[in-house]
Structure 1
Amino acid sequence: MRGDPEGVRRLYGERTAALVEALGLRPATRYDARAQLRTFERLAEDGLARLPDKDDQPYLWFSETTEGAVGPAGAGAGADTPCSMALTLSIASMHQLVKERRVDVSGELVCAAAHPAPLLVDRGDVWIRPEEGIPQRHGMRHQLLRYRLTLSDADGGRWWLEGHKYARARRDVWRQTRALSVEIGREGEPASLTGELVVPADSYVRDQIDGIKVDPRLTGREKRAAKLTWLAWFGAEMGRGLLGPFTRAAADLLDLRRTLTPSEHHR
């Protein structure tokens, strides 16, 4: 037992729990991440702490480039007009991820079908596994990421972009994490352009893993911890999201309530 610290802690924990029960006391509440989050928010409400703001110096950020094509919405024609985005994704703090699962976005959209000059992102948000990744309609497409951008052109016009990355029960998992289905339209109007933009495979690791930047005010150790925490959290969320459609497909395959085929009726 002396060489097993975990065993010692478990033994003392069991004795403490037994004593609490014998004395009729209320069991202690474990102070987990959610409890810590609530404490931080109460401190902010009392003026003893400050919640991060979108305009603060980012805690962590990285670049994301996408390339693809768009075409007229609902016209049945192919998406043949080149379109690309050069974005910076950032978070103000880990509180933002835990509370909202949201990432801030800045950058530009280059799309001649919308405007000859680049459209600048006035406000942008990315939600990670929105609605817990549950499909909006009954089906096998589960939401991985949702992009919502408000943009402006050089002439003062206002635009919007809505994008989705979906997980499907297919073998192209690597592409699913990079392919963004987009709709683009003028402010107050329905989508006029639709298409797909994809993060190039050779830039994904370079920009979104190796290229992560962290607040320079942090120490070297804190920077490493910030990167690892983000990668672990984001990797776990993506893994959970990608697993969902395969689990759903397996459940449907094994569902004993499914409609029997003619050959099964005669068995």
Structure 2
Amino acid sequence: MSRILVVFLVLGVACSLADPINRNDEVTLPQLDGRIVGGLDTNITFYPHQISMRYNGNHRCGGSIYRNNQIISAAHCVNTLSGPENLTIVAGSSNIWYPTGPQQQLAVRKFIIHPNYRKLNNDYDAAILILDGEFEFNEAVQPIELAKERPEHDTPVTVTGWGTTTEDGYLSDVLQEVSVNMVENTQCKSAYSIMLTSRMLCAGVTGGGKDACQGDSGGPLVYNNTLLGIVSWGTGCAREKYPGVYASVPDVRDWIIKTVEENEFVGKIDFL
């Protein structure tokens, strides 16, 4: 299928891109990512910034703690919601269904989507969630700092989440981690052509088999203990020649910092 035809077809399948949990992997189009494939069980204490975004109590997306009352996630995880009602953030547990430690849960007071977010191709796929209260930091709940620049091609990076472990499979109970390698955008464009922008970065492995893909959306891609990317989209899961695509944190870093500063006290205790 030609890439020009794909662009026109995207308009016809926009609804399939709206839900971060459901997608049609049979259509060769940019599809919202959200699953760890080829990974291993891990412990939340190794990735204490990782959170589970819940809607009506059900896992919806991943995300990262940036401040004790602010979360970084993907715009596509919240852009279909009318508001933050019934949206909560859970931190501090390796298992999303059966808490493994002092799990903490806070309601979301509001979310802020990047003003340049484009649903058509998930450009600028970033959002800040302001919490109704503050997380208490401990060994299983910690913030993560933002990466300032992209590492070189083929550099190992790590993605984590509770997404399904096979294409069209089931969510993982236990937090998963997988190591993938940076793919230069010039090379990644051979898979995604004009859908890929400079605000995106790619990561995968030769031959496929390891990837983030449903349920991992919004979660962290980490390099040197900094947040490098936000799980965004891709074609299928862990398919050969189709790396995962992430919102590039270095390219939206200024917006994140500005937004966080403007909302520093939102969600905290209001004093008389």
Taking structure 2 as the reference length, what is the TM-score of the superposition? Answer: 0.25
Higher helix share: 1
Q: Which has the higher contact order (CA 8 A, sep 6+)?
A: 2
Taking structure 1 as the reference length, what is the TM-score of the superposition? Answer: 0.26
